[in-house]
Amino acid sequence: MTFRVLIEQVRALVASAVESAGYPKLDFDVSEPPRKEFGDLTCNVAFQMSKQAKKAPQKIAGELIERIKPQQDSFVLSAEPHPAGYINFRANYAKLSTTTLAQVLKNPDSYGYYDSGKGSHVIIEHTSVNPNKALHVGHMRNVILGDALYRIMKATNHRTTVLNYVDDSGLQVADIVVGFKFAGMKTEPPGGKKFDQYCGDEVYVKINEMYEKDKELAEMRKLVLKEIEEGKSEIARFAANITMRVLQEQLKTCWRMKARYDLLNFESHIVVSKLWSRAFELLKKNNIARFEAEGKNKGCWVIEAQGEEDKVIVRSDGTATYIAKDIPYAAWKLGLVDDPFSYAKYQNQWDDSMLYRTTLGGESATDRKFNGGDRVTTIIDSRQARLQRIISQVLSQMGTSGREYLHLGYEAVTLSSATAKSMGIDIGERESTHMSGRKGIYVNADYVLDTLHAKAYEEVKTRNPEFSEQQLNAIAEEIAISAIRYNMVRQDLDKMITFDVKESLSLEGDTGPYLQYAYARSQRILEKSGRQVDSKARFELLTHESEVALIKEIAKLDLVFEDAARSLSPKSLARYAYSLATAFNLFYEKVPVLKEENAGVLMARLALVSAFGVALKNALTTLGITALERM
């Protein structure tokens, strides 16, 4: 919180100087300067004023500086004008250090968490992988992004509900059912293969190949789909069973990545619940949907989409289209329609929370409300942006009474040419290729985790030969998760990730394990010191450049959480964690802690190391990365 206060104090000083000098109020920026010689904060107010005041920035800065007199006990030490026109400020390090470290050590478990949510309810949907295949790297980006967002929302005091939509009545499920029922494929995977992988890698790929040659088989999927939608036949029961088996395996992978959910929404329940017809009534009542008596959409119900062709939502045969199915679900999320579902327990999760699933009829196993969020965020890749925009538009026409529907899109994950080649896929001159479940062009999530695990295992073992198998595996697993999680979240959402197996195995530099390593180093210092950290140590003794820099980073955590929540940007949190870890590694290099002979300085440094650990751990936890004591 202290960096925030420092900024506020500088703002106040500048604002009052502007006022007392007789200038009108105006907006100005207070930020960190590009070079440390310019101090800790800089203000561009003189530039902003120069036009109106018809004076050179340097002159204004000179005028204002006379009126900027920091209080004795404030975080601001001094202000000075720079010939370029900036007003630069220096922080009172003794005060900043003392206050920051005391704050961290007093409430380590909640340090940095910032109440920007005020308890408002956010609903986040992510994962939502068709239950006919295993997750691949592309899905990993979705899961990791969604889970990080959930954690950020929690850290900023939002009430959170995480949904995972299960499309159990779609064509993709029908496809593997055709494979099992009409193409003679076995329902038990060979050699103990994971069931989701078996269905995706073999059944789904093969049946799509068979469709090419066998048109009758291709016709079967429509019949199967119809039976699944009606939900009563033997085929439907068989499909439901297959879906549940795949889903359970998918969840294992998600849980392995340390994601968790509150509710599984089954599409079939939305279909049967008549949620659609209720939403459709609303659309008709509000004149959002229109019946076409003639033209190319004759006999269909359509909605107008801004700047686009009309969208058909009900076909001339009376069935609903894909986008139409999303509308009632979205309306349910926002609480615009009565909740038709009951809720049953599905399974307890790794974080000891209960995962529920929708059911129809009967008593609910919980009183909890899963819908009606103040804000609903749906995480799907940006290929769906167009449809999502139409859904938002329709919802706002229905009247969301202040509630917000947001699509958080991200670019796809593609495979590098090297990785594609290693899988026997020739992509010619191209640098990367899009994945395709149908064609079997993808890298499985479990494979990525296993490969990373194996690599990390060797690394940990060389460094810690005395560790037991169990310890080695536990640590290797955490490193694997951190590597992939950090990798998926560190870059901008609208940038494609070209996944390369070999590159992903890097555990050095700007990676998750680098962060964990900095943490492990800090914990070893504390352990070896054999002392208790004293939150009342003499922090003003921490005057080394690298000590001050580290304290400043620690002091910014709440600003980072606030920003990450506001801009829905796990990336900014990842960037921060990296610079925090770098600040620590610099300190580690320059300032020996355990060798220090002055007891007062030693205690102050230990407290700093401890505070660093707290800040980094809280940042890592929010990214879904485990802070390791040893690695």
Q: Residue 552, CB half-sphere, CA atoms under 13 Å: how many?
A: 23
The correct pick among 35, 54, 213, 215 for binding RNA (CB under 7 A) is 35
465: contact with RNA by CB under 7 A:
no
Q: Residue 272, CB half-sphere, CA atoms under 13 Å: how many?
A: 19
Binding piece for RNA, criterion CB under 7 A, among 116-124, 196-204, 371-379, 517-525: 517-525
The correct pick among 115, 230, 281, 308 for binding RNA (CB under 7 A) is 308
DSSP per residue, 237-281: HHHHHHHHHHHHHHHHHHHHTT---SEEEEHHHHHHTTHHHHHHH
Size of the site for RNA (CB under 7 A): 94
Q: Quote the CA–CA distance of 623 and 243 in Å, as a whole number.
A: 30
- Work out how close the CB of 44 gets to RNA at its nearest, in angstroms, rounded to a whole number: 5
The correct pick among 299, 372, 393, 505 for binding RNA (CB under 7 A) is 299
Q: Which residues from 99-118 bind RNA, rule CB under 7 A? A: none
The correct pick among 315, 438, 538, 544 for binding RNA (CB under 7 A) is 315
The correct pick among 11, 21, 33, 208 for binding RNA (CB under 7 A) is 33
Residue 343 or 584 having the CB closest to RNA: 584
- Work out how close the CB of 315 gets to RNA at its nearest, in angstroms, rounded to a whole number: 3
Token couple for 275: 């949620």
575: contact with RNA by CB under 7 A:
yes
The answer to whether 427 and 420 are in contact (CB under 8 A) is yes
Of 153, 618, 583, give the one whose Cα is nearest residue 376: 153
Rg (the chain; Cα; Å): 29
Residue 280 or 514 having the CB closest to RNA: 514
The correct pick among 243, 297, 388, 610 for binding RNA (CB under 7 A) is 297
Token couple for 630: 């040893």
Q: In angstroms, how far is the first alpha carbon of the chain from the final one?
A: 31
Q: Quote the CA–CA distance of 364 and 138 in Å, as a whole number.
A: 35
Q: Quote the CA–CA distance of 239 and 179 in Å, as a whole number.
A: 11
Q: Which residues from 360-419 bind RNA, rule CB under 7 A? A: 382-383, 385-387, 411-412
Residue with tokens 């290099």: 589
- Work out how close the CB of 517 gets to RNA at its nearest, in angstroms, rounded to a whole number: 3
The correct pick among 76, 312, 555, 604 for binding RNA (CB under 7 A) is 312
Q: Which residues from 64-93 bind RNA, rule CB under 7 A? A: 82, 84, 86, 88
- Work out how close the CB of 551 gets to RNA at its nearest, in angstroms, rounded to a whole number: 16
- Cα-based distances in Å from 80 to 23, 83, 203, 494, 603: 20, 10, 71, 40, 34
Name residue 159's beta-bridge partners. Answer: 121
Residue 172 or 250 having the CB closest to RNA: 172
591: contact with RNA by CB under 7 A:
yes
Residue 260 or 490 having the CB closest to RNA: 490
Name residue 289's beta-bridge partners. Answer: 303
509: contact with RNA by CB under 7 A:
yes
- Sign for the CA dihedral angle at 379, 383, 385, 386 comes to negative
Residue 89 or 356 having the CB closest to RNA: 89
Q: Which residues from 145-204 bind RNA, rule CB under 7 A? A: 167, 170-172
DSSP assignment letter at 353: P
The correct pick among 4, 5, 11, 48 for binding RNA (CB under 7 A) is 48
571: contact with RNA by CB under 7 A:
yes
421: contact with RNA by CB under 7 A:
no
- Work out how close the CB of 363 gets to RNA at its nearest, in angstroms, rounded to a whole number: 31
The correct pick among 456, 560, 568, 607 for binding RNA (CB under 7 A) is 456
- Work out how close the CB of 26 gets to RNA at its nearest, in angstroms, rounded to a whole number: 11
Of 397, 183, 406, 164, give the one whose Cα is nearest residue 288: 397
631: contact with RNA by CB under 7 A:
yes
DSSP assignment letter at 541: G
Q: Cα 295 to the chain's mean position, in Å?
A: 45
The answer to whether 596 and 538 are in contact (CB under 8 A) is no
588: contact with RNA by CB under 7 A:
yes
Q: Which residues from 259-288 bind RNA, rule CB under 7 A? A: none
Token couple for 471: 């310890």
Residue 52 or 347 having the CB closest to RNA: 52
Residue 440 or 513 having the CB closest to RNA: 513
Token couple for 414: 């593609």
Q: Residue 71, CB half-sphere, CA atoms under 13 Å: how many?
A: 9
- Work out how close the CB of 298 gets to RNA at its nearest, in angstroms, rounded to a whole number: 5
- Work out how close the CB of 501 gets to RNA at its nearest, in angstroms, rounded to a whole number: 14
Q: Which residues from 524-543 bind RNA, rule CB under 7 A? A: 524-525, 528
What length does the chain have? Answer: 631
Residue 289 or 312 having the CB closest to RNA: 312
- Work out how close the CB of 586 gets to RNA at its nearest, in angstroms, rounded to a whole number: 6
The answer to whether 95 and 73 are in contact (CB under 8 A) is yes
Q: Quote the CA–CA distance of 583 and 578 in Å, as a whole number.
A: 9
Residue 6 or 355 having the CB closest to RNA: 6
562 φ/ψ angles, rounded to the nearest 5 degrees:
-60, -45
- Work out how close the CB of 49 gets to RNA at its nearest, in angstroms, rounded to a whole number: 9
- Work out how close the CB of 220 gets to RNA at its nearest, in angstroms, rounded to a whole number: 15
Q: Quote the CA–CA distance of 24 and 53 in Å, as a whole number.
A: 10
- Sign for the CA dihedral angle at 499, 501, 503, 507 comes to positive
513: contact with RNA by CB under 7 A:
yes
- Work out how close the CB of 331 gets to RNA at its nearest, in angstroms, rounded to a whole number: 18
